[in-house]
Structure 1
Amino acid sequence: MSSIDGKEITKVIIACDAGMGSSVMVAAQLGKRLKPYQVKVEHIPVNEIPGDAQLVLCQETLVARAKKNSDAVIIGFQNFLGDPVFDRVEQVIRDGGTLDG
């Protein structure tokens, strides 16, 4: 398991499977939430996670695939809207702390 300090995060990847609907919406919403902290949010297919990725968020069903493609901290979520993972990410970026994944 890897971890990252929230104050070190400059980019968050929302990794998706084949579709571009719900995950694009998540990326846009999270991008607005994290903009005040100068953190970029990008939407990328799970098989194309870049090597410089720090934090990857994806559906729980995609976590194993994401871990095969990246050494980043990878955290799964269950719901595209209102999942507590998004609140936790914002809180750790804003206030400091560690994210494990």
Structure 2
Amino acid sequence: MGSINGKDVHKIVVACDAGMGSSVMLASQLRKQLKKFSVTVEHTPVNSIPADADLVVTHTGLAARARASAPDKIIIPFQVFLGDPAVTKVVKAIETGDEISG
């Protein structure tokens, strides 16, 4: 478990597995919210997290797989695809420059 300052986040990966489209919606929402902060948001399979990701956002049920796939990355698990407090906290930390721990 590590941390990163919100101002140092340049790339977020939304990692998924089910292929139901919910995580694609979350990635799209994050792109819109973080556009003015020049943060790139990608959607990738949980087993293929890119090395240049600063932060990984994934459903709680996939967090262990995300940690195994990218042990050096900060993993932010969430429960609800849209409107989850953990994701809202990440967006706010990027806006304000607060620390993000995961």
TM-score band, normalised by the shorter chain? Answer: over 0.9
**CA deviation after TM superposition for structure 1 residue 20, in Å:** 4.5
Q: Which runs of 5+ in 1 are unaligned?
A: none
Corresponding residue SS for 1:14: strand
Structure 1 ranges of 4+ moved more than 3 A: none
- CA distance in 1 between counterparts of 2:25 and 2:15 reads 12
Give the partner amino acid of 2:28.
A
Unaligned ranges ≥5, structure 2 = none
Partner of 1:97: 98
Q: What is the Cα deviation at residue 87 of structure 1?
A: 1.4
Q: CA RMSD in A?
A: 0.9
Which residue of the partner structure matches residue 26 of structure 2?
26
Give the secondary-structure state (helix, strand or coil) at the position aligned to 1:53. Answer: coil
Q: Which whole-Å CA distance do the structure 1 matches of 2:31 and 2:5 have between them?
A: 19
Structural mapping, 1:80-95, within 5 Å: 80-95=81-96
Deviation at 1:58, TM superposition (A): 0.3
Output the CA distance in 2 between the equivalents of 1:51 and 1:99: 19
- Scaled by the length of structure 1, what TM-score is found? 0.96
Question: TM-score, normalising length from structure 2?
Answer: 0.95
Q: How does 1:32-71 map to 2 (within 5 A)?
A: 32-70=32-70, 71=72
Match of 1:50, SS state, is coil
Q: Give the Cα–Cα distance (whole angstroms) in 1 for the partners of residues 92 and 24 of structure 2.
A: 21
Say whether 1:13 aligns with 2:13.
Answer: yes
Q: Could you tell me how far apart the structure 1 residues matched to 2:67 and 2:76 are?
A: 10
Give aligned pairs, total.
Answer: 101
Q: Which residue of 2 aligns with 1:3?
A: 3
Whichever residue aligns with residue 68 of structure 2, its letter is K
CA contact (8 A) 2:15 2:56 kept: yes
Percentage of matched positions with identical amino acids: 53
Question: How far apart, CA to CA, are the structure 1 residues paired with 2:82 and 2:50?
Answer: 25
